[in-house]
Amino acid sequence: MPDEQTPQLDLGLKKALDNLEKDPYLDLAKQVKAEYDLAWDHQKPKKDEALLRLKLYNNQKRDKSAAGDTTMFTIHQTLLASLYVDKLQSEWVGREEGDDEVANNLTAMADYDYDEMGKDETDFDWIWDTLFFGRAPLNFSEYIRDPDTNIFLPVPESIDPITFLHDPRGVSINGNRMGRNACRFYGREIKMGRDEMEKHPHFLANLDFTKIHFGSGIRSLIEEGARARADAQGNQYERNKAEAKLGVNGEYDITEWCTHFKFGGVVKKCKVWLANNRKEVVGLQIFKGDKWTVLDRSLYPTSHDWDGTSIPDLTEDKQRARAVAQNLGMQAMKADLYPMYIYDTNKIKNKNDLAFNFNKFIPSDGDASNAAFALRKAFPNLPLLNFIYNSLDISAQKATATPEIQQGQMSQEKRTLGEINIVASKVDTRYSLSAKVFGWSERRFWLQWYNLYKENFKEGIDEKIVRLVGAFGDKWRPFTKENIVTKRLDPDVKIESSYVSRAKQLEERQGTISLLNIILQDPTSNRRYAERKVAKQYGWSKDEIERLLPPTIDERIAEDQNAFLSKNKTVPVLPEDDHNVHLEIHSKASATPATYAHVETHKKALSIKKTKPELFPVDQSMVTFQNPNQRNMPATQLPGQVRAVQPSQTSNQSVPAPMMQ
């Protein structure tokens, strides 16, 4: 049932439409029927083929005397496991100064919503459909708002590709950045109960259910899909059986269709629900934005084409041929176990004398080599049969980059460790390509997630309670709209494969440690920044790093000062400030005149310190301690044998009074 949400249909227009007779909807229904028929004729043959492949994927009603091959299932599951485990990570980034805090809030909230939305289950269905059908749609337009607490949660829904029809001219749902090659219309068939229809916020008021019929008519993708899946599992399915007798559990066949239609002389995007074989409009929603709310994901996309290539496209013919080879081999084996004999009827008068044997005997009127002999038959070329069988398997593995080792089984040939490592690296390269392609749709998913909050999260009413996991335990933080929606430019989101991220992190970590071995020999280098950078590359969170390396008092003061500087409020430069630390922290403040003046004052203080060091007292935090039995205490060692050299004893006197603001 669609979740309760604020209707996107203009209330005045909705009221006017509800008060009219059904005749104004006839043109809309006729347009939808024409679009549906166009998409049906274009995509029905491919959907019929997909239903046959579903039966081949797991056919429980196959001939019990024959053996089925599992090439399609094995390769599909291998890729599914790899792409599902490789969780795509999202990180939000502000597009202008001052949006860093909102971006950090969105990153934390997206991580929290991942579990709350059940995205792990949605991802499984979405990836499964993408691998099997080549391209899979996902509906992401609904959300839940708790009426008591006003807790808001977007809810994604995987769409069955079998029930989905789209514009034949569309290459993707929303096309490119300019909207070119986008779908002009698309839709699906769903089933809805009466209670669900009555509570739906976009359905017409006072529906006459005596005029809404059960059943889907002649053309129904949802019925054909249900029947094919039932056949594949060995179940019995009858179309629309006894729905009218199920009372409140009875479900109507509804077509949910998105298209463009002219309302009041203006063409707008809308979603319309139709019953009675798409002849009766029962619901209408007009979108505010210029983007469709359905997302699409592809596996091996083909340029300028919707369907691309799927796993069954690459493996179906191999599976069928391998099944034939398997069964021919079994028949040849049975022929060897059950040979036929020719026997002399003149010598063996009673055929029952041969009943002790399970072989077949053929009578012969004459010499049968003293009684009986085996009938000579053609011998099958088993080496050739085995060659064809293995060649088909290798062809499927090459096409999908799923060698035997990747499938979890030992290779039939002995291979060196170096060769195995090379194969594994190339497999990762091919899978990384699929993960990057998945990243396109993942980015669109999170942008739509943000858009749902931006358009439907009510300012001053809705509240989002997020659990933040840190070094000091779990914390619960409430977010309002100002905490998660930027003021002017929408934030951007970066999507990266967890495998790629870990590999990049390892490479950066090794490079950083090697470089720090050289750089930290300079006494003026920022050792604290180096320590934090290495900790971050080791995967430590901000809370964990700050627990290990607590911010200094100058860092905390500078962070507090940033709030005033960003609002163009003057903040004094104190004589005891660590000016280098303040300059580092103030780089995060908004570019206001107050920020510029404050930064320039810190620079001037550093200049005076350089030209007149005798004016500056010794900073005790920079002194190298000694005792009679010990030389300079060694610095704490960074990972990778990084050793910092203690800076020389330099002074850090207070800034003269004229330098203070």
Q: What is the pLDDT of residues 414-457, one digit of tens each?
A: 555 455 454 455 555 666 778 888 889 999 999 999 999 998 88
Degrees, nearest 5: CA angle 457-462-468: 95
Task: Say what the pLDDT of residue 140 is.
Answer: 94
Is residue 52 located within the same domain as residue 157? yes
519 is a domain residue:
yes
Say how many C-beta atoms besides its own lie within 10 A of residue 329's C-beta: 16
Task: Say what the pLDDT of residue 372 is.
Answer: 64
Mean pLDDT throughout 398-411?
59
Q: Is the pLDDT of residue 290 over 80?
A: yes
**pLDDT tens, residue by residue, 352-378:** 666 655 555 566 666 656 666 566 666
Is residue 280 located within the same domain as residue 400? no
Is residue 210 located within the same domain as residue 328? no
503 is a domain residue:
no
CB of 212 closer than 8 Å to CB of 277: no
4 is a domain residue:
no
644 burial (CB, 10 Å; 0-12 / 13-18 / 19+) is buried
Task: Say what the pLDDT of residue 623 is.
Answer: 43
Is residue 239 located within the same domain as residue 363? no
Long-range CB pairs of 344-352, under 8 A, 24+ apart, other chains included: 344/368, 344/370, 344/371, 344/372, 347/371, 348/372
Locate the DSSP E strands across 387-537.
464-470, 473-479, 492-497
Confidence band (pLDDT; 50, 70, 90) for 642?
very low
Task: Say what the pLDDT of residue 48 is.
Answer: 92
Residue identified by tokens 């006494």 is 523
Tell me the C-alpha to C-alpha distance, in Å, between residue 218 and each of 227, 277, 279, 283, 475: 14, 8, 13, 22, 56
Confidence band (pLDDT; 50, 70, 90) for 661?
very low
CB of 373 closer than 8 Å to CB of 341: yes
Say how many C-beta atoms besides its own lie within 10 A of residue 297's C-beta: 23
Q: Is the pLDDT of residue 624 over 70?
A: no
Highest mean pLDDT among 129-133, 368-372, 646-650: 129-133
Residue 631: DSSP 8-state: -
614 is a domain residue:
yes
Task: Say what the pLDDT of residue 634 is.
Answer: 40
Locate the DSSP E strands across 333-455.
340-344, 360-364, 372-374
195 is a domain residue:
yes
Is residue 245 located within the same domain as residue 393? no
Residue identified by tokens 């976009």 is 202
Confidence band (pLDDT; 50, 70, 90) for 633?
very low
Confidence band (pLDDT; 50, 70, 90) for 598?
very high
Q: Is the pLDDT of residue 620 over 60?
A: no
**pLDDT tens, residue by residue, 555-592:** 899 989 998 998 899 999 887 788 888 998 898 888 88
Q: Is the pLDDT of residue 1 over 50?
A: no
Is residue 150 located within the same domain as residue 194? yes
**pLDDT tens, residue by residue, 42-78:** 999 999 999 989 888 876 666 677 777 888 888 888 8
Q: Is the pLDDT of residue 334 over 90?
A: no
Name the pTM for this structure. 0.72
Task: Output the six-digit token pair for 383.
Answer: 């080496």
Highest mean pLDDT among 82-86, 253-257, 529-533, 607-611: 253-257
Q: Is the pLDDT of residue 318 over 50?
A: yes
Is residue 146 located within the same domain as residue 204? yes
Cα gap 103→490, rounded to integer Å: 10
Range of the domain at 349: 313-406
CB of 38 closer than 8 Å to CB of 168: yes
Please state at what angle helix 26-57 crosses helix 71-85, rounded to 10 degrees.
110
In 3-state terms, what secondary structure has residue 174?
A: coil
Cα gap 241→216, rounded to integer Å: 12
CB of 55 closer than 8 Å to CB of 231: yes
Confidence band (pLDDT; 50, 70, 90) for 655?
very low
Q: Is the pLDDT of residue 539 over 60?
A: yes
Mean pLDDT throughout 129-151?
87
Distance of CA 314 to the CA centre of its chain: 23
Q: Is the pLDDT of residue 522 over 90?
A: no
Is residue 295 located within the same domain as residue 372? no
**Three-class secondary structure assignment of 525-585:** CCHHHHHHHHHHHCCCCHHHHHHHCCCCHHHHHHHHHHHHHCCCCCCCCCCCCCHHHHHHH
Q: Is the pLDDT of residue 638 over 70?
A: no
* Helix residue ranges per DSSP H, 338-413: 382-400
Confidence band (pLDDT; 50, 70, 90) for 124?
very high
Distance of CA 50 to the CA centre of its chain: 23
Question: Where among 311, 328, 362 does a domain terminate?
Answer: 311
Mean pLDDT throughout 265-282?
91
Q: Is the pLDDT of residue 119 over 50?
A: yes
Instruction: Look up residue 281 and give its amino acid.
Output: V
486 is a domain residue:
no
**pLDDT tens, residue by residue, 463-514:** 787 776 554 556 677 888 888 888 888 899 988 777 666 666 677 777 777 8
Is residue 237 located within the same domain as residue 270? yes
Degrees, nearest 5: CA angle 313-314-315: 100
Task: Say what the pLDDT of residue 13 is.
Answer: 53
Cα gap 631→653, rounded to integer Å: 26
Mean pLDDT throughout 326-340?
75
Task: Output the six-digit token pair for 148.
Answer: 């008591």
Cα gap 579→603, rounded to integer Å: 8
Distance of CA 95 to the CA centre of its chain: 24
Is residue 231 located within the same domain as residue 378? no
Residue 136, beta-bridge partner list: 297
Collect all residues with Cβ–Cβ distance below 8 Å to 189 and sequence separation of at least 6: 163, 216, 220, 221, 222, 253, 254, 255, 256
Counted domains in the chain: 3
Is residue 44 located within the same domain as residue 168? yes
Question: Where among 379, 406, 433 does a domain terminate?
Answer: 406
Question: Where among 384, 406, 428 does a domain terminate?
Answer: 406
Residue 300, beta-bridge partner list: 309
In 3-state terms, what secondary structure has residue 416?
A: coil
CA torsion angle 212 215 218 219 (round to 10)? 90
423 is a domain residue:
no
Residue 634: DSSP 8-state: P
428 is a domain residue:
no
Is residue 299 located within the same domain as residue 323? no
When mean pLDDT is compared across 1-5, 123-127, 513-517, the lowest value belongs to: 1-5
Q: Is the pLDDT of residue 135 over 90?
A: yes
Please count the residues of the chain.
661
When mean pLDDT is compared across 26-35, 484-493, 630-639, the lowest value belongs to: 630-639
Task: Say what the pLDDT of residue 616 is.
Answer: 57
